[in-house]
Amino acid sequence: MQGRLNGRVALVTGGAGGLGQAYSVRLAADGAKVVVADLAPADETVAMIEQAGGEALSVSCDVSSGEQVSAMVEAGIARFGAIDILVHNAGVYPFHAFLEMTFEDWRRVMSTNLDSAFHLCQGVLPGMTQRGWGRIICVATSAFYSGAPRLSHYVASKGGIIGFVRSLATDVGVDGITVNAVAPGLVRTPGTAAGGQEEMGLFEMAPQMQAIKRVEVPADMVGTVSFLASDEAEFMTGQTLVVDGGMVRS
């Protein structure tokens, strides 16, 4: 595999399918070796990468667990020698009307979507700091800017990601590490197609509010992530790039 990420190692969470699979395959096509982390088996993603001539490792991990994240990072380093790029994509988005939401519902979303960023960055930053190079890319949502029905816990967790990215970038820029976020809109994946989005008619509604009048798909996101992972983005940090077809125009 030849590309702008030759010699780099990427860790992608939630990489078994959907957006995470698309990110993993693209970073591998760019030349990176990829650690694919997910609760679900990521054999399909690994096979796609290997069939194209790349290298990948599947690791089972609950990103809300600091112990499991530490073990996953260690496994990736043992296999490939380092973790240079983190794409924190894993997350959950259950639909709950706020007054029907329990605190346990709230905490599950926060621990999976936001606490996980703490665990993951604590795991990868020592090595990045030692080498003087690193790319951290967290996946937020354009719904942070507009709100979304029945997703107050999800939107709050992604708002936390945006704030975390801004602050962490300030801490680690001196070490040659950039920290950014990407904010997709409503992306059609097997997960979202089977979820409440379809039932609520959101795939029909969203394009009507976008400048680009079609449903977003994973291929629309991978170029932005590839750019942020590369040397070309070395002077961009603390930013959130909205990639949602122009639904949010900031």
Residues marked active site are found at: 154
| 170 contacts 123 by C-beta, under 8 angstroms | no
Q: Which of 86, 91, 85, 107 is nearest to 143 (CA)?
A: 91
Q: Would you list the DSSP string of the chain?
A: --STTTT-EEEEETTTSHHHHHHHHHHHHTT-EEEEEESS--HHHHHHHHHTT--EEEEE--TT-HHHHHHHHHHHHHHHS---EEEE---------GGG--HHHHHHHHIIIIIHHHHHHHHHHHHHHHHT-EEEEEE--THHHH--TT-HHHHHHHHHHHHHHHHHHHHHGGGTEEEEEEEE-SB--HHHHTSHHHHTTHHHHHHHHSSS-S-B-THHHHHHHHHHTSGGGTT--S-EEEESTTSS--
- Look at strands 9-13 and 240-243 and give their pairing: unpaired
